[in-house]
A = this chain, B = another copy of it.
């Protein structure tokens, strides 16, 4: 059995209250008394029971990380892992604990967001990977529990979000392809349920316009953020439209699928087909050819999310509810200059 305040009170002869105050650094306690109490506490290895403290203080010093896609199948994409590293590092530093709440759309029907949060008295939540129509998203936005979303813009007193300059990044990528001489650039989008998909597609459209290129509806396909799906949808597109010389993908995972498709179709990358990805996953630099891509900084996203969340929790007025990170465009070998 772990030692309690009561034990110290008995040993030292002071009341539980005094012991509590002494240990918590209150100023209205005799320094001599404090010393006696601290000594006794150390002697019996006293450790405060955070559960009990949480119960009375109505805050648990615990945040939740709600995440979809925490699955071994998603190994190729370390996005979630890196965010987790950031959250873990930052929350530890700020004296919070973090519980992992891995969820799926179906799990969300069994237990509501509010249930999840209130049974553990979570002080706040960071959410990553929810689809736009997931029940938790709506609940989180309407809840009073402080919450920070990753890559989903929201507005509200106890809401915040962290994202990156995706739109600009996509535009840069398309413009780069344009400068390299490409005129027929198709776009493999991610799942329509993801908010980023909309953002990135809009940016694609806008940049076509800015480059003076015509938007063709059939040039946009949905790869569902899946390597295999991307492969499947790009093959007919490339077959039916041999004029296409470049593919922009909303994720590197899908770029891998396109790369494979190209290989199957006997198209040389980058000479006959150029590819640009998004995410800078580890593999993008290891496959042949290495993939030109847009690098996000998920670790920093984790850090920032946690910082904002904890400020929200503490009602810190200095909090800036939105934070946008700057992506980096990484040139590699999957794009070629086109001469015509």
Which residues of A does B touch, CB under 8 Å?
Answer: 2, 45, 47-52, 54-55, 60, 62, 70-72, 75-76, 78, 81-82, 84-86, 88-89, 92, 97-102, 114-115, 118-121, 282-283, 286-288, 299
Choice from B48, B97, B102, B120 contacting A51 with Cβ under 8 Å: B120
Complex Cα distance, B48 from A71, in Å, reads: 29
Residues of B within 8 A of A288 (CB): 288
- Say whether A100 contacts B102, CB under 8 Å: no
Q: Smallest CB–CB gap between A249 and chain B, Å?
A: 18
B286-A118 in contact (CB<8A): no
Q: Which of B50, B78, B86 meets A75, CB within 8 Å?
A: B78
Q: Which of A48, A50, A283 has the most CB of B within 10 A?
A: A50
Residues in B neighbouring A71, C-beta threshold 8 A: 85
Copies in the complex: 2
The 8 closest A-B pairs by CB, nearest first: A2-B118, A72-B299, A88-B102, A47-B118, A81-B81, A47-B115, A72-B85, A50-B119
CA separation between A2 and B120, bound complex, in Å?
Answer: 11
- B residues less than 8 Å from A98 (CB atoms): 99-100
Q: Which residues of the partner chain B approach A88 to less than 8 Å between Cβ atoms?
A: 70, 100, 102
CB distance from A296 to the nearest CB of B (A): 12
Give the CA-CA distance A70 to B51 in the complex, in Å. 26
Q: Are A119 and B299 neighbours in the complex by a CB distance under 8 Å? A: no
In the complex, are the beta carbons of B51 and A60 less than 8 A apart?
yes
Q: Which residues of B contact A62 (CB under 8 A)?
A: 99
Partner of A120, one of B50, B70, B75, B286: B50
**Cβ–Cβ < 8 Å partners of A101 in chain B:** 97
Which listed residue (B48, B100, B287) contacts A286, Cβ 8 A? B287
Output the residue of A49, A99, A120, A121 with the most chain B CB within 10 A: A120
Task: Tell me whether A51 and B51 are in contact in the complex, defined as CB-CB below 8 angstroms, given that A2-B118, A282-B282, A282-B283 are known contacts.
Answer: yes
